Amino acid sequence: MKTVSPFLEIDPQSDHVLVRFEGQDLSLPLGENLAGALLVAGVMPFRHTPVSGAPRGPFCMMGACFDCLVQIDGMTVQACMLQVTKGLEITMPAARGAADA
Amino acid sequence: MHNADLIVIGAGPAGMSAARRAAALGLSVLILDEQPAAGGQIYRNVDRASAARNDILGKDYTHGRTLTEGLHHENITHLMGAVVWQIEDGTRVAFTQNGKGALAVGQRILLATGALERPMPLPGWTLPGVMTAGAAQILLKQSGIACQGAVLVGSGPLLYLIATQMVRAGVPPLALVETQTTGDLTKSMRHLGGALRGWPYLVKGLRMLWDLRRAGIPRYVGAKAIAIEGDQNAQAVTFKIGKSAHRIACDTVLLHHGVVPNTQAARSIDIPHLWDGAQNCFVPEYDAWGRSAVATVFIAGDGAGIGGAKAAALAGEIAALEIAHGLEKLSEPARDDTARNLRKHLAAERAARPFIDAAYPPYAGAIAPPDDTIICRCEEVTAGDIRRFAGLGCLGPNQAKAFGRSGMGPCQGRYCGLSVSQILAASNEISLDDTGYFRIRPPLKPVTLGELAAMDVPDMNEVQN
Ligand code: FES
């Protein structure tokens, strides 16, 4: 995971909630796009591919590429199609996780 | 279960303007859209974007509000976060919203599914930190997020637009690495007559270039042999201009060489598609009103061929007129009268298109990528693999699936389909129309067992009766 993110908020909002990514506490803006919020928080990669284990992160931000997959509540979901809610427990999908999306 | 005269899939410019026109003519309209707010990708989040964001994004963006406002009509129901996964019999649509499967039935369906970034397979394009330029714009529109120190790679007016927006946001890109050549520009000149009719677009383009020059953004034009270096994340872009090699260190690379119609939904119901040589992509077949081979299904907007937001809105309205006429809410003369005016504007909107398409062709190096370049991001199938399949007698993309799983991952070929078809066509020396495209089958987006289980079963029976 990187610590310095190249992604900046232009008009940061104040209402933040706590979520966890791979066991690490993150304070993210409530209701904002989850993939965007994770990028700003310095999260990268989001997952590793089931085929070669290569690192991946968001590519299209519009729900088409499935490269932003993360695991929440046992389900593999597209981070770019979700909003930040309180207490999300996010992990990287298991190596074969993409299949049950 | 939802019932409506017209189901519109997609709340971008085409879908919004069609919905408004149809509603005004007395049709009940149901809009299904994946995003949490209306606007499509071009006007994404336009209702909620802050003043600071609007200043950066400009008037062409805030114009979208005229369309989103039109959705406040008693005949329109707009379901947000609704992911369509199946269309049946030209009248039934299955979708998921809030973790629950649901069904909608309409007399007509309008596919307004918009565009996708043209796949741009380059060595290293799957690395974290490499995104489409469209993705960077979505981050800006949706979340007010700008990326620092990015390099923009590819061709087309969208690159200039994003670069100027980044300059205004205070995070200018490190450089533009552009793939079009002066030869392309010369060739495009023969379309200038048309472009002059579309002169507002050209003036905008020139203004953007001027802004970039003033901001001191380096532009490298005619780039070849482009690759992205990195191990865990993008670290640099390398390329050649003529004989000289360049390397720009950066951790964000934004790719763009045009957009192409998102044809997944249309293909899933077997609407025929043809190769469009000028736009370098497949486009669905439809008549002057947008009616497809499935008589109850219409197509409008960039999903029907790239024309941009304004053209999309006009095409959506034209389709709505014929839909209302077919459902006996509008007389033929009234339909034709209104359509005449809309078509005039549509022609003017499209006038600059041939010039733009010729001046900013797709990057040849990404149409025929080096052998070790990943084509299918999901299953990590390379260009060399596809060529090898061709050597073994593979003629079409559906056969290629059997050879090596390309297009079988979760994105269902959205970011490899065109590349697979083009590489096979080139290797086999047969036309794109004869090569064809992946057969698309539902579900269009993954559905979980839980979402299906939460579906109201009585609804299914009602439909079947
Ligand atoms: S970034 Fe492409 S699906 Fe989320």
Q: Which residue has the higher pLDDT, B190 or A22?
A: A22
Name which of B31, B5, B42 is nearest B309 in CA terms: B42
Q: Is residue A101 part of a domain?
A: no
Provide the pLDDT confidence category of residue B337 given band limits of 50, 70 and 90. Answer: very high
Q: Is residue A73 part of a domain?
A: yes
Average pLDDT over residues B292-301: 98
Q: Which residues of A touch B134 (CB under 8 A)?
A: 60-62
Whether B314 shows a pLDDT value over 90: the answer reads yes
Whether A98 shows a pLDDT value over 60: the answer reads no
Average pLDDT over residues B125-141: 97
State the Cα–Cα distance between residues B464 and B456, nearest whole angstrom.
13
**C-alpha A65 to ligand 1 mean position (Å):** 5
Return the pLDDT at B198: 63
Give backbone dihedrals phi and psi of B133, rounded to 5 degrees, phi first.
-65, -35
Q: How far is B429 from chain A (nearest CA, A)?
A: 29
State the Cα–Cα distance between residues B339 and B330, nearest whole angstrom.
12
Verify whether ligand 1 is closer than 6 Å to residue A101 (CB atom). no
Residue of chain A nearest B44, judged by CA positions: A62
Whether B462 shows a pLDDT value over 60: the answer reads no
Whether B144 shows a pLDDT value over 70: the answer reads yes
Q: Which residues of B touch A69 (CB under 8 A)?
A: 410
State the Cα–Cα distance between residues B8 and B29, nearest whole angstrom.
7
Q: Is residue A40 part of a domain?
A: yes
B1-10, B95-104, B455-464: segment of lowest average pLDDT: B455-464
Confirm or reject contact between B117 and chain A (CB < 8 A).
yes
Name which of B324, B323, B318 is nearest B300 in CA terms: B318
Q: Are B8 and B30 in contact (CB under 8 A)?
A: yes
The string of pLDDT tens digits covering residues B76-98 is 999 999 999 999 999 999 999 99
Verify whether ligand 1 is closer than 6 Å to residue A66 (CB atom). yes
Return the pLDDT at B465: 42
Fold classification of B368-435 (topology level): Arc Repressor Mutant, subunit A (1.10.10)
Q: Which residues of B touch A10 (CB under 8 A)?
A: 52-53, 56, 140, 144-146, 169
Q: Which residue has the higher pLDDT, B407 or B78?
A: B78
Count of CB contacts below 8 A, A vs B?
A: 128
Return the pLDDT at B445: 92
**C-alpha B234 to ligand 1 mean position (Å):** 18
Q: Is residue A21 part of a domain?
A: yes
| Closest-lying ligand 1 atom to the alpha carbon of residue A61 | 1
Comparing CB atoms, the residue among B127, B150, B414 nearest residue A65 is B414
| Structural domain range at position A49 | 16-91
Q: Is residue A3 part of a domain?
A: no
Return the pLDDT at A95: 60
Which architecture does CATH list for B119-257? 3-Layer(bba) Sandwich (3.50)
Return the pLDDT at B402: 85
Whether A97 shows a pLDDT value over 70: the answer reads no
Provide the pLDDT confidence category of residue A39 given band limits of 50, 70 and 90. Answer: very high
Q: Which residue has the higher pLDDT, B268 or B204?
A: B268
Domain count, chain A: 1
Whether B147 shows a pLDDT value over 80: the answer reads yes
Domain boundary assignment for chain B: 2-116+260-330, 119-257, 368-435
Q: Which residues of A touch B36 (CB under 8 A)?
A: 83
Kindly state the percentage of chain B with pLDDT values over 70: 97
Q: Are B221 and B182 in contact (CB under 8 A)?
A: yes
Q: Which of A2, A16, A66, A73 to mutate to test the interface with B (most CBs of B within 10 A)?
A: A66
Q: Are B102 and B95 in contact (CB under 8 A)?
A: yes
Return the pLDDT at B367: 97
The β-bridge partners of B153 are B177, B255
Tell me, yes or no, if the two domains B2-116+260-330 and B119-257 fold the same way: yes
We report the CATH number of the domain holding residue A42 as 3.10.20.30
Whether B195 shows a pLDDT value over 70: the answer reads no
Comparing CB atoms, the residue among B134, B138, B410 nearest residue A66 is B410
Return the pLDDT at B83: 97
Average pLDDT over residues B428-457: 91
Class of domain B2-116+260-330: alpha beta
Verify whether ligand 1 is closer than 6 Å to residue A77 (CB atom). no
Whether A100 shows a pLDDT value over 60: the answer reads no
Buried/exposed code over B328-339 (b: 16+ C-beta within 10 A; e: otherwise): ebbeeeebeebb
State the Cα–Cα distance between residues B311 and B317, nearest whole angstrom.
10
State the Cα–Cα distance between residues B358 and B390, nearest whole angstrom.
30
Q: Do A58 and B135 touch (CB under 8 A)?
A: yes
Whether B456 shows a pLDDT value over 90: the answer reads no
Provide the pLDDT confidence category of residue A99 given band limits of 50, 70 and 90. Answer: very low
The string of pLDDT tens digits covering residues B364-378 is 999 999 999 999 999
> What is the pLDDT of chain B when averaged over all its residues?
94
Residue of chain B nearest A37, judged by CA positions: B143
Confirm or reject contact between B378 and chain A (CB < 8 A).
yes
Verify whether ligand 1 is closer than 6 Å to residue A97 (CB atom). no
The β-bridge partners of B382 are B374
Chain A residues with CB-CB distance to B under 8 A? 2, 6-12, 32-33, 36-37, 39-40, 44-46, 49, 51-52, 54-67, 69, 75, 81, 83, 98, 100-101
Comparing CB atoms, the residue among B252, B415, B446 nearest residue A101 is B446
Q: Do A64 and B415 touch (CB under 8 A)?
A: yes
Q: Is residue A11 part of a domain?
A: no
Q: Which residues of A touch B230 (CB under 8 A)?
A: none
